[in-house]
Amino acid sequence: MSVISGTELRNAVLADRSVGGRALCRALSDATDEWLIGLFEAATAGIKGRFALVATGGYGRGELAPYSDLDVLLLHDSPKTVAQVAERLWYPIWDASKGADKIKLGHAVRTVKEAKELASDDLDTATSLLTARHLAGDAALTSDLLGIIASDWRSRRAHWLAVLAAGVASRHEEAGEAAFLLEPNLKESSGGLRDVHALHWAEAAGALIAPADRAALAQAEDTLLAVRVALHRTTGRAGDVLLLQEQETVAPEAGFRDSDVLMAAVSVAARRVVWIGDETWSRVNGLPPVASDHVLASGVFLRGGEVELEAAADPSQDATLMLRVARTAAESGARISRATLERLESSAAVLPAPWPTGAIDDLVGLLLSGHRAIPVFEALDHYDLLVRILPEWAPVRCKPQRNAYHRFTVDRHLWETAANAAALVHRVTRPDLLVLGALLHDIGKGYPGDHTDVGVDLVRVIGPRLGLIDDDVDVIVTMVRQHLLLPDVATRRDLSDDGTINAVAEAVGNDVTLDLLSALTEADSLATGPSAWGSWKRELVTLLVDRTHHVLGGGDFTQVNWRLFPTSEVLELMGEGTTAIRTTEDRVTVVAPDRPGLFSRVAGVLSLHGLDVLDAEAHSDDSVAGRQAMAANEFRLLPPKEGIKWDRVVDDLQRALDGQLAIESRLAERAKTYRRRKMLSATVSSPSVRIHNDASSNATVIEVRAPDKIGILHRITKSLGELGLDIRHAKVQTMGNEVVDTFYVRTADRLKVLDPFHLKEIERAILHALS
């Protein structure tokens, strides 16, 4: 059969958009079979010897995705003529690969003995042959090899299962968890297709998988295969990572309404795979020996490393039993036995409202167990038990957060936040309220409307049902309502401004709540992602909390000098009346004669050098006899790993100050040639400008949200300078693909901007600069 007809066979399958997932993989495998059989027959025609063509790996399983590798083995017992056969066979496939078909051939030529020897100590070879299929030629050769491989796999069960388990654990560390990642690897991540394959291989070695689990595993595999096929089809290339910007187009191709439904389905499938895998590998690895049963709580004991219900315990009559099981499992670090989970699933009573005495203590105890509580929550959720404890949980299950800032689904984020909070209880007087507030702070994200407002309403219902007194409910309500207060203010407001600190003190009300919010901020940020809690943010939040405690304790602003800039050194430089540029590892300070646009020039040069600004301070003085008015701008930067090449930056800064650097032109060139990998949210937000005259006692505060672009800080501040505004302070925050920049500005007379027309023109100018 010709190469053209082979390509046509594959393309005919791919052209039928009504077929996807496993069915398409099977159809594509069948079409490829037909093609390769024809090639094999032509390649072996007239040549003496025994030859067999064998499909291995995913192709052997009949799971050939549109751009999967084509893995085949040429078996033989004829060393003298096999090279001729191989050449006739491989070259037509390689020729086809040069066209639109894009076939990547994974091929090998071996005797039965060679294949057996390689498979005896190489996991990849052994597993690729476990599900191999005979395609053409001498079937006895294939049968001999596959029989040997299957026999060796079973006879060396302990060895292979140990190697498999170690490989699974190692891969999970590298590829993360498919159920919770923003951009999961459908194949290699924990809960991905490679885990499914590993479980099939384990079962072939004798590991037991319950019939119900086998059916659930097949369903999860179908989902992951459907998404992988859709990913290949929509991108037109091989790949297993479901990138954020591709999820919108993959969703309908895979049969899902939108990207949120798609990612929720991937999460559900991956969780099923992980659950079944944990069950299987725990049996493979063996449970720790226990001399005798150990009572953990009323009706609950530890047996063989698992938490069990006593035979006489009746979940239908004891509504608190489920929480006791969960708490003791987390505190002991043991798994809840499958039999116990099934008993709870079938007969656990619904907790009455309010909860019985002791029930909330068990929930708090579970949460205070920290990260050991997360697998317990997963187990409960796998059996739909968590929604019996907290019915409001259902909408946040597996709900994706489609932005580059969050790394987890909403439910996992809440578990992670509570676990992080458990490690910070030494900082608060009410550990119980801290972990409860952490668990509930984003509960509103599963519902329509503003998640904070919805969350407040939900907590007012949940709190009394748990048995909390009104004052405690009010504290958690404040935690939910204000859970973004400290990080937002710390990163977007001037912490030396009395208006800023007074506003925070009024919002939190007392020291107890302030400490709870401080701990929640850290726990929440750590659970959000690696970029959400750096040293800069931690220092700012700590500073804000300390100053708010000062005000809540009755202190006033005349008792403490909170202005950090300008320092005495900077004031001395300004007094000299000449241009000066000073640098440290992560800061640059520019002192120069005061003029419009000074701030924007410095910001433009920093952007030209690819430097990200974290915050900035500005100060200017009046002219005095013999010296013109001077200004000082200080920028705190995020240094790249290799450090900042200050010599080049300083040279360009000096040229910019002297009017000898074409900043606008250079930024435009950089924007054309510099390409970042895009991290797009589900919907790219439009630029917005908010202006506040009540957020500071002596400045107008302008907050700008916009998609991140090269030179954005320069363009915004240039527009402010053109309107005669003096920038006193600036905070710059990047969240994924969005920036939130805050500017404290005053008029040339050092007053707030109060004229309505001027305020409107500020908004107009900034939006134009961003367009």
The whole-angstrom separation of Cα 620 and Cα 750 is: 10
The whole-angstrom separation of Cα 120 and Cα 740 is: 58
Question: Could you please report the per-residue DSSP string of 267-305?
Answer: HHHHHHHHHHHHHHHHHHH-PPP-SS-EEEETTEEEETT
Share of the chain above pLDDT 90, in %: 68
Query: How far is CA 289 from its chain centroid?
Result: 37
- In order of 246, 303, 372, 423, 532, the CA distances from 420 in angstroms are 32, 29, 11, 6, 14
Q: In 482-617, where does DSSP find H-type helix?
A: 485-492, 498-508, 511-528, 535-552, 568-576, 598-608
* Beta bridge mates, 619: 632
The pLDDT of 406-416, averaged and rounded, is 91
* pLDDT for position 628: 84
pTM of the full structure:
0.81
* pLDDT for position 4: 47
User: Residue 513's CB: how many other CB atoms inside 10 A?
Assistant: 22
What would the two tokens of residue 182 be? 């923003």
- Hey, what domains does the chain have and what are their CATH numbers? 3-155 (3.30.460.10), 159-285 (1.20.120.330), 411-560 (1.10.3210), 568-770 (no CATH)
The whole-angstrom separation of Cα 392 and Cα 461 is: 10
* pLDDT for position 449: 93
Q: What angle do the packed helices 211-235 and 21-44 form, to 10 degrees? A: 70
* pLDDT for position 294: 82
The whole-angstrom separation of Cα 79 and Cα 76 is: 7
Q: What angle do the packed helices 535-552 and 498-508 form, to 10 degrees? A: 80
The pLDDT of 46-68, averaged and rounded, is 93
* pLDDT for position 289: 53
What would the two tokens of residue 342 be? 């099934």
The whole-angstrom separation of Cα 743 and Cα 279 is: 54
DSSP label of 353: S
The whole-angstrom separation of Cα 586 and Cα 612 is: 10
pLDDT, tens digit, for every residue of 557-566?
666 656 677 8
Q: Is 68 exposed, middle or buried (0-12, 13-18, 19+ CB in 10 A)?
A: buried
The phi, psi pair for 106, rounded to 5°, reads -110, 105
Of 589, 689, 701, nearest to 635 by C-alpha is 589
* pLDDT for position 93: 85
One-letter amino acid at 670 equals: R
* pLDDT for position 563: 64
The whole-angstrom separation of Cα 308 and Cα 623 is: 80
The whole-angstrom separation of Cα 730 and Cα 22 is: 54
Q: What angle do the packed helices 123-130 and 157-175 form, to 10 degrees? A: 100
Please check the confidence at residue 607 and state whether its pLDDT lies above 80: yes
Please check the confidence at residue 291 and state whether its pLDDT lies above 60: no
* pLDDT for position 739: 86
Query: How far is CA 695 from its chain centroid?
Result: 33
The pLDDT of 490-516, averaged and rounded, is 92
What would the two tokens of residue 38 be? 């024809």
Q: HSE-up of 569 (CA within 13 Å, CB side)?
A: 8
DSSP label of 684: P
Rounded (5°) CA angle 759-765-767: 105
The phi, psi pair for 654, rounded to 5°, reads -65, -40
The pLDDT of 574-588, averaged and rounded, is 92
Q: Which residue has the tokens 């004031």?
A: 571
Whether the ω angle into residue 354 lies within 30 degrees of 0, i.e. cis, is yes
The whole-angstrom separation of Cα 699 and Cα 697 is: 6
Residue-averaged pLDDT of the chain = 90
pLDDT band at 594 (very low <50, low <70, confident <90, very high): confident
Counted residue by residue, the chain has a size of 771
Of 188, 165, 166, 189, nearest to 177 by C-alpha is 189
The phi, psi pair for 652, rounded to 5°, reads -70, -35
pLDDT band at 16 (very low <50, low <70, confident <90, very high): confident
pLDDT, tens digit, for every residue of 86-139?
999 998 888 877 655 567 888 999 999 999 999 999 999 999 999 999 999 999
The pLDDT of 752-769, averaged and rounded, is 95
What would the two tokens of residue 112 be? 């039965």
